[in-house]
């Protein structure tokens, strides 16, 4: 059995389910496991992808991961998965600043995936245009940090 070291592969706007499955299988070849949990970067409801991801290719809605991978699969929104893993109880608004803006709210023992990245922002854009990696590239570090602090302050008022 191969060692379980951290492994990753690049995705991007052209990654489709079939390619994901092939790369995933390559990365876990030789591992023994009975089931999987996938944190997916799009809205997920009741274990099903309900909207195509903004930063991957098409074909994810309705894709049967269990059939493709030959194992039981549990799907959850990726930001919700990260929030669940980092929660220490109480109330926490999780913001994942990456390709876009992932978000989830943990309140006591309740996990609520959010789609805050689509909130309107000044100049007719959406909040993830400023807070994700594209915003960092556009604004440069000092202004980007200011935008993050401003946005967190605004979101804190609501949560």
2 within domain boundaries = no
**Which whole-number Å values give the CA distances from 47 to 62, 147, 149, in the listed order?**
11, 33, 33
Q: What is the pLDDT of residues 75-110, one digit of tens each?
A: 999 999 999 999 998 999 999 998 889 999 999 989
Extended strands (E) in 69-140: 73-77, 91-97, 101-107, 110-114, 120-121, 125-126
**Which whole-number Å values give the CA distances from 101 to 71, 98, 126, 148, in the listed order?**
30, 6, 10, 11
40 secondary structure, DSSP code: E
Task: Say if residue 53 is in the same domain as residue 108.
Answer: no
Do the Cβ atoms of 119 and 127 come closer than 8 Å?
yes
Phi, psi at 6, each rounded to 5°: -60, 135
Domain boundary among 43, 77, 111: 77
Average pLDDT over residues 147-154: 93
Confidence of residue 6 (pLDDT cuts 50, 70, 90): confident
Task: Say if residue 149 is in the same domain as residue 115.
Answer: yes
Q: What is the pLDDT of residues 16-64, one digit of tens each?
A: 999 999 999 999 999 999 999 999 999 999 999 999 999 999 999 999 9
Task: Say if residue 154 is in the same domain as residue 108.
Answer: yes
pLDDT score recorded for residue 39: 96
21 within domain boundaries = yes
Helix (H) or strand (E) holding 129: helix 128-131
105 within domain boundaries = yes
Domain count for the chain? 2
Domain boundary among 58, 77, 96: 77
Q: Distance between CA 53 and CA 102 in Å, rounded?
A: 12
- Please provide the average confidence, as pLDDT, over all residues in the chain: 93
């Amino acid at each position: 059995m191969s060692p379980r070291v951290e492994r990753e592969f690049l995705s991007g706007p052209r990654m489709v389910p079939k390619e994901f499955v092939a790369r995933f299988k390559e990365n876990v070849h030789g591992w023994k496991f009975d089931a999987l949990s996938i944190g997916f970067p799009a809205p997920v409801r009741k274990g099903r992808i309900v909207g195509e991801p903004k930063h991957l290719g098409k074909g994810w809605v309705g894709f049967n991961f269990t059939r493709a991978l030959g194992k039981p699969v549990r799907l959850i929104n990726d930001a919700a998965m990260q929030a669940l893993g980092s929660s220490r109880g109480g109330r926490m608004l999780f913001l994942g600043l990456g390709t876009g803006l992932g978000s989830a709210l943990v309140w006591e023992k309740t996990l609520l995936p959010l789609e805050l990245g689509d909130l309107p922002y000044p100049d007719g854009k959406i909040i993830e245009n400023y807070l994700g990696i594209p915003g960092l590239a556009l604004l440069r570090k000092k202004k980007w940090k200011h935008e993050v602090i401003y946005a967190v302050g605004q979101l804190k008022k609501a949560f």
